[in-house]
Structure 1
């Protein structure tokens, strides 16, 4: 049913307009990580929140999940802020944390709550906001974090497994919780969440930062992490995410592009991984305004609090494999401390970097032992669409019980579990191998690779 809606947005003054639209736009936006070295994910989602709000989506229809510890981390040189792009040209940086209204933070950012939000189950979501969308509405889901074959990580508890994610999407389709849905997923091996799993005719349109076999990349790193003359010390954004959001920040593109046009642009500009499409191609010609805003809403020009011109201000240059950003950040913070004459701080970061290197080496040995030499060639080959999803889930639970929670780095080895399951090994056999390998190669202090620094 068409509705006459009053929508207001503000920059320096309040702007309101009546317009007629069929259905509403709802959004679920998630950063699935924590710690300062994952600053970029929390900055990504706050920027996405502002894009949605600036373009007319009501605040109570944007559900945002973020652990929200990067802005207040001791390593943040500008406390209380998050920046998603540099400001090398002398213009003021845009603090995306300002007025970023987070609904689920800290230990409430879990797979259980995320899936409950999608299903509209407020009880399972702990009483927080959930989707109340109808068969007339459009739903936009954006997720930024680490991933591995068949899963995307969360900062607390279990990851979101591919079968659970796709089951929630199927439930939404069956319950007529949307007319159309668009999903953008930023994570390593994120294509594995949908390949062979997402139907082609359910009015769900999905793009991912990477195919099922590769990493995604952080960007605006090293010399490009400077904002207002301050070196932030870690990557400010993710390459796929920066490319879609900086495209959506351009007024001309935002008001003329279709989903397929944005996909083509982002695919071309994301050169270090393969941006992938899955789902229902009948949505290709739908305007991006229908998912990242409200149709016909006269959105404010450009990014909030920054430029409103017709050209991108920045182009990402320096990028770091998502698996390596923690180590990269520790070394960057060490150099920052050295340059400031902070001897004790530099020593602490150097020690943390050495601990991370030790953890990485132990994880490499442990998962090589789990896989065994016979599977070395298979592990390097492209994965087929995942089919043994029950094996994956049970094996991952057993591996983390034996080896500790996956770290941002050791998630690269979750591929071993996928290869073993898809090669016919039972979850029990994989868990037994993990028990032996991790007892030998990963002492308790190295399980997760987390440190008190960063």
Structure 2
């Protein structure tokens, strides 16, 4: 009776191994079929940031706060985390005593979607929203006491989306009804950012009266800009809410947000598609676009290059042999006895890229074969042990 038991154990082990392999193949096939492939992009950025500014205060400017909060919700939905968003609100309409819905801000008639909610992180609020603070955020010239959450920690691989809304005019935007920022101020701030390598590309959007004049003085490279209205043209609100008694959102921002609601992180739509959706009759003003400073074709720049936060990760094989400096360790200063982490990572990356595709394919094939052999060897060993125990 012992031989059939041994045979049964071996057959059971073989069946279990086949089932395990078939399950693994099924899982791999499932992920291969449902893999989300990001659309190709010509951008070289590695991170996304957003600076959202509502420059107005007072209750009757409720719509400007809703504009900024609506844009905040959209960029978060498309993948930019709170840590990479600087939100500046000139007033707190949610806590205003005239707000019929305390703690809430709505951008549509009927008050269906609360833009304020529980997950809004306001970085600059009320009287903190000044021209000086805005310029300091962009240029990085902040006081050492300013926390990291209030800083724009960008580099030369950062794509930055800058949105501004409020009351403005020919080449100026008012802050708090007490001061104003000019088109020259923003242009000079962008120039400083370029000199300090604080951005890869900038997408500037502004919703105010005569908005297109605000980007007329830009002269730094890699900047794409758009505005809601022409010179001597007003921007209008979209609709009023009877319960709140005021306008809840501006027309231009409303239709921009409505369009972006249909975008996801892997959308292949480009900035040209975004600009083409402008409808002058609905917006009731003439939005403008400036792309002469942008170093890429607008139809080659994805919407998610600025509104999204899609991480692009390149997986590389481990390299056993590292390129080591021939200088003896004893001859190095004390602080150089171990290479910095960044240098080691760079060497590893270079060595990985130097591997040919055939070598990487062979390595992957051998690794797969090794895993299979190890699995079957484990099954055989377990079967033998169980059989040996059964014979005793």
TM-score normalised by the shorter chain: which range applies?
0.5 to 0.7
Post-superposition shift, 1:123?
A: 1.6
| Structure 2 residue aligned with 1:65 | 88
| Structure 1 residue aligned with 2:127 | 107
| Structure 2 residue aligned with 1:408 | none
The yes-or-no answer on 1:212 pairing with 2:231 is yes
Post-superposition shift, 1:268?
A: 4.2
Cα separation, 2, equivalents of 1:194 and 1:80: 35
Q: When the two structures are aligned, how many residues end up with a matched partner?
A: 268
1:145-224 equivalences under 5 Å are 145-155=166-176, 157-195=178-216, 197-199=217-219, 202-221=221-240
| Structure 1 residue aligned with 2:115 | 96
Structure 1: where are the runs of 5+ without partners? Answer: 1-16, 298-454
Cα separation, 2, equivalents of 1:152 and 1:287: 29
Q: Is the Cα contact below 8 Å between 1:248 and 1:254 reproduced in 2?
A: no
Cα separation, 2, equivalents of 1:125 and 1:262: 40
Q: Is the Cα contact below 8 Å between 1:205 and 1:283 reproduced in 2?
A: no
The yes-or-no answer on 1:251 pairing with 2:268 is no
Post-superposition shift, 1:251?
A: 3.4
Cα separation, 2, equivalents of 1:43 and 1:125: 30
Structure 2: where are the runs of 5+ without partners? Answer: 1-35, 39-43, 313-392
| Structure 2 residue aligned with 1:265 | 277
1:24-63 equivalences under 5 Å are 24-63=47-86
Q: 1:164 to 1:59 in 2, by over 3 A?
A: same
Range with greater deviation from structure 2 (259-268 or 185-194):
259-268
Post-superposition shift, 1:69?
A: 2.5
Post-superposition shift, 1:156?
A: 6.1
Q: 1:146 to 1:211 in 2, by over 3 A?
A: same
Post-superposition shift, 1:74?
A: 2.1
| Structure 1 residue aligned with 2:379 | none
Larger Rg belongs to: 2
Q: Is the Cα contact below 8 Å between 2:252 and 2:283 reproduced in 1?
A: no
> Cα deviation per residue 1:208-234 (whole Å; 9 max; x = unaligned)?
01112211111122xxx25xxxx2211
- TM-score (normalizing by structure 1): 0.55
- TM-score (normalizing by structure 2): 0.63
SS of the residue 1:29 aligns to: strand
Q: 1:35 to 1:124 in 2, by over 3 A?
A: farther
The yes-or-no answer on 1:287 pairing with 2:307 is no
The yes-or-no answer on 1:74 pairing with 2:97 is yes
Q: Is the Cα contact below 8 Å between 1:113 and 1:124 reproduced in 2?
A: no
Q: 1:189 to 1:257 in 2, by over 3 A?
A: same
Q: Is the Cα contact below 8 Å between 1:192 and 1:211 reproduced in 2?
A: yes
| Structure 2 residue aligned with 1:130 | 151
> Cα deviation per residue 1:114-169 (whole Å; 9 max; x = unaligned)?
11111112229965712111111100000111101121111164211111111001
> Cα deviation per residue 1:285-308 (whole Å; 9 max; x = unaligned)?
2111111111369xxxxxxxxxxx
Question: What CA RMSD, in Å, does the superposition of the two structures yield over aligned residues?
Answer: 2.7
